[in-house]
Structure 1
């Protein structure tokens, strides 16, 4: 199969998003995050490393990772890869919720995995070519994929703690969405608590218990993601990158960067450019 190098982000023509993973060129890290949609990463070439709820998974070609709604995950892409990502709105599965708008999919080695990979590859190829009637064909393949998910991968016996965790992350998602839009501004725990009507102590505990990291770490990682891209893709001064991404100065940026990557931003940039 031949793949386009263009990232595809469909809007109105199909009821989900399908695109080539942005970390396809390697040397890429997506920090811990979560979202409402169901996400599938189908790896066709190269390798990917996932952390889902603190567990590590290494993907090889022909394998996919299924990430549930509000499942905390991070992705490491050290080398070039060809990965197709599907983001499926949670409402797609509305008829199959267990309780409190909750649905959970397991993913272990199954006979259907090969069929899922073929479906995703065919969907992408059909969509990329955009021949007459492509939307109909892609949607028919998509609903076959949904059928496999709800009949072969869905777990109907879920415990109450998992449902509670999902509910709390829904509330936390409103806060983190605000943080993502305002990461470059002053976002102290006190100011954020006032914005959303929580006490700083309660908000801090929410992050620690349900996001499994403290508030400061989440904010630093969010800023670091943007700063990392600027460091790799621009020739801006390190101090300028620090300030425009919410760090108070280059020293604080360097401290966070070194803790995460084991070297200073200047050392990383020099190594990356050689």
Structure 2
């Protein structure tokens, strides 16, 4: 079952979302408590939205790609997606049931009470020393009542105050620079064709751009290269197969779109700091 207050159900998340328009309440908050079977949890394709999203799994774990960086979010750890950050998720491990808390905060509301939001970036992955933040998320997701506007605003102030402790050193200002349609279109194309041999020159011709302009524009708006985005998409598929299939490393490399086992091995080690086999064995052991 899904408790979704002013939010979308899991069924809606199966669609290919490029820009996700979130139906906030009158205050600017959306709460989703996901409590469902493991097999009913969909992966989400790359998308973005205007606001800040906080995700905390209560059971199980998921993999999230945020602007080219890949994180594994385990039980009671927290993922924070900043305003306009492109991200995608996939479930890694769960018990029979999967439970997760999601808080989405509207950008305009955040800007009105926390003007610094235009110039800061919250840390994408909080793995420890977050006891107060964890308790705030748990309490609000379980006790939230839409009619209590004053209580909601009080909670938002408490939450922002606590989140301010987790600001990254990197200063950004992306709020007035939304991702253009053609960049989203390139991402969507890669989402659909990542198993194929995608050449950058052919991609530029397909979208009627010069090779150099396409590479620069994509990186300017996403902060990663097209090659990095492609590798991340392939790694998303490969990670799922490592943990949930009995395929060999060679079979996983081919199924995920890597040209050969060596390329898969080198790319995986570059992003995860370890080899596919070590990752597979370690994560499965940690989950037991």
TM-score by length of 2: 0.54
Q: Against the structure 1 CA distance between its residues 270 and 152, is the aligned structure 2 distance closer, same or farther, given a 3 Å change threshold?
A: closer
Q: Residue by residue, what CA displacement relative to the aligned partner does 1:51-99 show, whole Å, maximum 9, x if unpaired?
A: 99999xxx9x999675421247899xxxx9x99553527477499599x
1:35 equivalent to 2:35? Answer no
Q: Against the structure 1 CA distance between its residues 87 and 170, is the aligned structure 2 distance closer, same or farther, given a 3 Å change threshold?
A: farther
Match of 1:68 among 82, 85, 90: 82
State the alpha-carbon separation in 1 of the partners of residues 206 and 252 from structure 2.
27
Question: RMSD over aligned Cα, in angstroms?
Answer: 5.6
2:139 alignment counterpart: 122
3-state SS of paired residue (2:196): coil
1:18 equivalent to 2:32? Answer yes
State the alpha-carbon separation in 2 of the partners of residues 142 and 181 from structure 1.
40
3-state SS of paired residue (2:217): helix
Q: What is the CA-CA distance between 1:182 and the residue it aligns to?
A: 3.5
Q: What is the CA-CA distance between 1:247 and the residue it aligns to?
A: 1.5
State the alpha-carbon separation in 2 of the partners of residues 121 and 90 from structure 1.
19
State the alpha-carbon separation in 2 of the partners of residues 120 and 148 from structure 1.
11
Q: What is the CA-CA distance between 1:188 and the residue it aligns to?
A: 2.6
State the alpha-carbon separation in 1 of the partners of residues 209 and 113 from structure 2.
30
Q: Residue by residue, what CA displacement relative to the aligned partner does 1:118-166 show, whole Å, maximum 9, x if unpaired?
A: 553123335xxxxxxx864798865654566789989xxxxxx955x44
State the alpha-carbon separation in 2 of the partners of residues 266 and 191 from structure 1.
33
3-state SS of paired residue (2:83): coil
Q: What is the CA-CA distance between 1:256 and the residue it aligns to?
A: 1.1
Match of 1:265 among 273, 276, 280: 276
State the alpha-carbon separation in 2 of the partners of residues 74 and 206 from structure 1.
21
Aligned residues: 236
Q: Against the structure 1 CA distance between its residues 251 and 52, is the aligned structure 2 distance closer, same or farther, given a 3 Å change threshold?
A: closer
TM-score by length of 1: 0.56
- 2:118–2:175: 8 Å Cα contact kept in structure 1? no
1:88 alignment counterpart: 104
State the alpha-carbon separation in 1 of the partners of residues 102 and 148 from structure 2.
12
Q: Against the structure 1 CA distance between its residues 189 and 64, is the aligned structure 2 distance closer, same or farther, given a 3 Å change threshold?
A: same
State the alpha-carbon separation in 1 of the partners of residues 271 and 197 from structure 2.
22
Match of 1:238 among 229, 245, 249: 249
- 1:11–1:17: 8 Å Cα contact kept in structure 2? no
2:237 alignment counterpart: 226
State the alpha-carbon separation in 1 of the partners of residues 100 and 52 from structure 2.
14
1:157 alignment counterpart: none
